[in-house]
Amino acid sequence: MQNFDKWLALITVCIPLLVQLVTVIPSIVSNRKKTEANIKDTESKLSKEINSTKAEIESVQKDFNNHVDEYQASKAKQARYRIIRFYDEVCDNVDHSESHWEDILDEIDFYETYCETHKEFKNNRGGIAMEYLKETYKRIKAKGAFLTHKEE
């Protein structure tokens, strides 16, 4: 009896699947009978769409790269401004914390690296200030003379 129940359960599952297969197979066969002209037409349309999409992607990539370049140039100009401002403060005998000095040295590193990798960038300002700041930092570091919070 148990075998019969298993067979019955198997048949009740398989029969609907067989019915579905029998009804689907004719549509699969008819779909496979598309003419070669229809297939070539579809391929041609897809090819045009792909080429159009590629062109759009290239345009977007170019615009994106231009924006990245503009952003990096802007960052370099801002870094140069902060470096020169810091230089002016040091020349006016304004003391700075060690953290502030290290931030400016990071700015100098970024600015110099940017200028080295972007030869077209106008870099006719800040060179003397950067060298002065590097040397001054070494002297202050050796003395341990950074600005510190003073307890009363």
| pLDDT(24) > 60 | yes
Among 43, 51, 47, 107, which Cα is nearest to 80's?
107
Cβ neighbour number for residue 103 with a 10 Å cutoff: 14
The rounded percent of the chain whose pLDDT value lies above 90 is 38
Please write the tens of the pLDDT for every residue from 29-74.
666 666 666 778 888 888 888 888 888 888 989 988 889 899 999 9
The residue assigned the tokens 């080429």 is: 51
Nearest to 134 by CA among 113, 123, 126: 126
- Residue 78: pLDDT over 80: yes
State yes or no: pLDDT of 152 exceeds 60: no
**What burial class does residue 122 get, using C-beta atoms within 10 Å of its C-beta: 0-12 exposed, 13-18 middle, 19+ buried?**
exposed
Among 39-43, 52-56, 76-80, 144-148, the range of highest mean pLDDT: 76-80
Buried b (16+ CB within 10 A) or exposed e, 53-78: eeeeeeeeeeeeeeeeeeeeeeebee
- Percent of the chain predicted with pLDDT > 70: 82
What is the distance between the terminal CA atoms of the chain, rounded to a whole angstrom? Answer: 97
Contact by Cβ (8 Å): 125, 80? yes
Single pTM value for the model: 0.62
